[in-house]
């Protein structure tokens, strides 16, 4: 089974609030269709959920946020999720929506529910989850990112491979030279490179990718503009991007 994260910045136009990147979504969907292997997909918020959570100042820390803000963030993620589901359906996949509230209880993960997701995937559906605003109890909510969901699912389901689809080729050794790191092993080396060289968003992804690879799973970071690279990695083990070795 393959676990795939579609970053918010590739499925939406980040500069324009509430605009999906339909071309990219359809393009990815048509490639995922070719995989011949069970998949579980997680997507981010981009110019939907991120846009509103910034506007209403809602964060990953549980707190009593603006009620209107929580509703608006949640609604926007449902809307973006629906766009992804419709595209998957149109492109011949059988998407099955799994909001994170299906398997989260506050900050706790219901691992029985998570295991059911892999059964859904193994029966020919493509479960689709997404970063969301989550009820924490006592009037509090928090943002659970799609990257974090990747970590949660990977730890319990042990996929053969986890893939993060980005709008860059992978991890660069330096932003100046743009030299791509094809393979990364070991935790400390990665973090020191990251601190020096990448933005916060990428930093979060790298920390999650590194932590998933430390649980014994290969993690592949690849560019959305070359979607055949996803197919090549899954089918032929050819990693054109950055792979975090287990």
The Cα–Cα gap between 78 and 97 comes to 10
Angle between helices 187-197 and 200-213 (to 10 degrees): 170
DSSP sequence for 71-132: HHHHHHHHHHHHHHHHHHHHTT--EEE--GGGTEETTEE-HHHHHHHHHHHHTT-EEEEE-E
Looking at beta carbons only, is 19 or 232 nearer to ligand IPE? 19
For the bound state, the minimum distance from the C-beta of residue 52 to ligand IPE, rounded and expressed in Å, comes to 8
* Strands (DSSP E) found in 119-231: 126-130, 132-137, 140-144, 161-166, 183-184, 218-223
* Residue 164 Cβ vs ligand IPE, minimum distance, rounded to whole Å: 9
CB atoms within 10 A of CB 182: 13
- The two most distant CA atoms of the chain are separated, in Å, by 49
In the complex, the smallest distance separating the C-beta of residue 177 from ligand IPE, rounded to whole angstroms, is 26
In the complex, the smallest distance separating the C-beta of residue 5 from ligand IPE, rounded to whole angstroms, is: 7
Nearest approach, Cβ of residue 155 and ligand IPE (Å): 17
Q: Which is nearer to ligand IPE, 199 or 214 (CB)?
A: 199
Tokens found for residue 59 = 């964060």
**Nearest residue (CB) to ligand IPE, 16 versus 185:** 16
Q: Which pair of tokens denotes residue 79?
A: 């809307």
Residue 218: beta bridge partners?
Answer: 161
Q: What residues make contact with ligand IPE under the rule CB under 6 A?
A: 7-9, 44-46, 49-50, 53, 73, 77, 131-133, 143, 145-147, 201
For ligand IPE, give the closer residue by CB, 140 or 232.
140
State the nearest-atom distance from the C-beta of 109 to ligand IPE, in Å.
16
The phi, psi pair for 97, rounded to 5°, reads -70, 125
User: Please, which residue, 9 or 87, has the CB nearer to ligand IPE?
Assistant: 9
Please identify, using beta-carbon distances, which residue of 49 and 62 lies nearer to ligand IPE.
Answer: 49
């Amino acid at each position: 089974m393959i676990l795939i994260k579609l970053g918010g910045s590739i499925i939406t136009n980040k500069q324009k609030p509430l605009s999906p990147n339909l071309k990219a979504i359809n393009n990815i969907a048509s490639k995922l269709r070719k995989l011949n292997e069970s998949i579980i997909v997680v997507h981010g918020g981009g110019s939907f959920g991120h846009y509103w959570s910034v506007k209403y100042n809602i964060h990953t820390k549980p707190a009593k946020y603006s009620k209107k803000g929580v509703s608006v963030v949640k609604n926007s993620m449902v809307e973006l999720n629906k766009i992804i589901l419709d595209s998957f359906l149109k492109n011949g996949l059988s998407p099955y929506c799994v909001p994170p509230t299906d398997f989260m209880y506050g900050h706790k993960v219901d691992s029985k529910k998570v295991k059911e997701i892999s059964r859904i995937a193994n029966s020919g559906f493509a479960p689709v989850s997404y970063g969301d605003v989550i009820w924490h109890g006592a009037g509090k909510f928090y943002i659970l990112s799609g990257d974090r969901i990747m970590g949660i699912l990977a730890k319990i389901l042990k996929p053969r491979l986890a893939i993060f689809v980005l709008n860059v080729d992978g991890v660069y050794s330096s932003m100046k030279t743009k030299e791509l790191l094809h393979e990364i092993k070991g935790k400390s080396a990665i973090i020191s490179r990251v601190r020096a060289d990448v933005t916060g968003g990428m930093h979060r992804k790298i920390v999650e990718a590194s932590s998933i690879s430390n649980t014994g799973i290969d993690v592949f970071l690849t560019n959305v503009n070359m979607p055949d690279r996803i197919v090549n990695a899954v089918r032929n083990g050819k990693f054109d991007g950055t792979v975090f070795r287990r």
